Chain A
Amino acid sequence: MLDLTDYGTSNFFQILKRRHPELLAALHSSNAPSNSTVTEASFHQYEGTTVLAVVYDAGVVMAGDRQATEGYQVGERRIQKVYPVDRHSAIAVAGAAGPCIEMAKLFQVEVEFYEKTEGMALSLEGQANFLSHLVRANLGLAMQGLIVLPLFAGYDLKQQRGRIFKYDAVGGRYEEGDYYAIGSGGKDARATLKKRYSLGITRQTALEIVAEALWDAADEDIATGGPDLIRKIFPILYTITQEGVSEVPEATVEELYRELISRL
């Protein structure tokens, strides 16, 4: 039956919480299992690692490696960690893979739901703030080791530039003006970005240093997956500009890595 209740909100998360809390079990802290079970389970859960974003002259590049680990094992070689949100934004996630993917999916639905019911797109700032609430809602699970950390990037149509937002586990939101990387290989990726980044770089340079940063992260960090030339698995890269979000074709990414390897 059609539910015509006036929920008084364009907030999909709130509506789900009231009507279908069971669909939020992966994210909502009140449904978290007790401490002991999680410690036991943490060896049977997938962890996603390194994702990053870099601002360039026409917008922002967002990228992530493809590996998920299960303890000391490779859990998944082709996982996706970067997801387009609306026409001008994307989210990347690091942490417990299940809740991570769930958060990215919920966030995407949330932003689209707002746009359709209100008849206009939610501002980039509005999206970044809302993501804080989702991270905070996950605090209970985070305390028990099921941490989800997003990196959010987009093209701000009003300010006409690419912007990056990072978060801490309690939902704190911080803006980065040039680049950032999170996940277990995040520190290694940031080290490369720090050396290679300069303001106002072109798209091509941005793609090159993103590829190199992920290469270095995979080199130093055992949980980060490098390009797999045999299985043809490469990091996923998205560019976000005034024209919208678009995935960098796999052939281009392969070319970036062949070029990088030839220089080693």
Chain B
Amino acid sequence: MSTPYYVSPEQIRQDKEDFVRRGIAQAKEVVVLEYRDGLLMVAENPRKTIYKISEIYDRIALAAAGRIAEYEALRVAGIRESEIKGFRYYREDVTAKWLTNLYSQHMGAVAQAWDAKPLEIELLVCEVGITGSETASGLQRNQIYHIAFDGIYSEEEKYAVIGGRATAITEMLEQRYTDGLEMRAALRLVTETFQNIEADTDTEDGYEIAPDTIEVACLEQTAERRRFRRLSTDEVTALLS
């Protein structure tokens, strides 16, 4: 007969958190920031077809740091739920806040289940505002929600960072970020921050920030229904030159 044992809920939670932190600490960063015409998303990602930033719905995008396979499942489920909701009601009824709740509940349930591994993933759910964020209010503004592995989420403003060195990058952005940046300036700010952080940390992986080692996408405040746009390497090269 095995000996019954007791582990306090605090201990279980702590163990899970440590487990996820170790995983996320390896993950390359994703930055989302508000610029003059919408939201700019930049990730350190040398892969050509595997993305960490993607389109969910007309005004909504999803970015992740952590395990790609887990992100992929959440991404597809998010597109499916959004399309079903938009098909049932109206396209504008699909919001980032609704989607964030959906993800949050799922990630929270998985993190609390005694027999499941918590998701080793952090998410940013972004929605571009209908008009310029200066004048817009409530759900019409640009929105950025940060969801942790356990489903706890927070609302971010101006910029948000996920990934291993998120704290350090956030500190750098705090000093240099200004409102109303143009896309070129916003992209430069992020790539320079990435370069600084790569220089600061030991660069055993020899990671270099170049147009083909970053993934860039944006949500633009345009008249087009689908606001999400992925920038090609050529476009990024032109913006950075």
Contacts and interface: CB of A to CB of B under 8 A. Distances in A.
Indicate whether A and B interact: yes
A116 B77 CA distance: 11
Contacts of A112: 83, 226
B224 to A, nearest CB: 10
B106 A117 contact: no
A125 B222 CA distance: 30
A2 B87 contact: no
B199 interface: no
B79 A117 contact: yes
B77 A109 contact: no
Contacts of B87: 16, 23, 105-106, 109
Contacts of B56: 116
Interface in B77-119: 77-81, 83-84, 86-88, 102-103, 105-106, 109
Contact of A113 (B51, B83, B105): B83
A103 to B, nearest CB: 13
A50 to B, nearest CB: 27
A1 B103 CA distance: 8
A236 to B, nearest CB: 17
A28 to B, nearest CB: 14
Where chain A touches its partner, the secondary structure class is helix
Contacts of B78: 2
Given A16-B84, A19-B84, A116-B55, A2 B79 contact: no
Contacts of A6: 73
Contact of A119 (B49, B84, B86): B49
B84 A2 contact: no
Given A106-B87, A119-B49, A4 B77 contact: yes
Contacts of A2: 74, 77-78, 81, 102-103, 105-106
A4 B79 contact: no
B68 interface: no
A1 B55 contact: no
Nearest to B103: A2
A223 to B, nearest CB: 29
A130 interface: no
B106 A4 contact: yes
Given A116-B55, A116-B79, A119-B49, A1 B84 contact: no
B106 A119 contact: no
Interface string A155-197: 0000000000000000000000000000000000000000000
A7 B74 CA distance: 13
B240 interface: no
Contacts, number: 53
Interface residues of B, number: 24
B79 A113 contact: yes
B236 to A, nearest CB: 18
A4 to B, nearest CB: 5
B168 interface: no
B127 to A, nearest CB: 16
B107 to A, nearest CB: 9
Interface in A3-34: 3-4, 6-7, 12, 15-16, 19-20, 23
Contacts of A119: 49, 51, 54
B139 interface: no
Contacts of A19: 84
Contacts of B76: 117
A1 B77 CA distance: 11
Given A19-B84, A23-B87, A117-B76, A1 B49 contact: no
Contacts of B226: 112
Contacts of B102: 1-2
A153 to B, nearest CB: 20
Most chain-A CB neighbours within 10 Å: which of B54, B76, B88?
B76
A19 B83 CA distance: 13
A1 B105 CA distance: 7
A27 to B, nearest CB: 12
Interface of A: 1-4, 6-7, 12, 15-16, 19-20, 23, 105-106, 109, 112-113, 116-117, 119
Given A2-B81, A119-B51, 9 more contacts: A2-B74, A2-B102, A4-B73, A4-B77, A23-B87, A113-B83, A117-B79, A117-B80, A119-B54
9 contacts: A1-B105, A4-B106, A15-B80, A20-B84, A109-B86, A112-B226, A113-B80, A117-B76, A119-B49
Closest 6 CB pairs of A and B: A2-B106, A2-B102, A116-B79, A4-B77, A113-B83, A117-B76
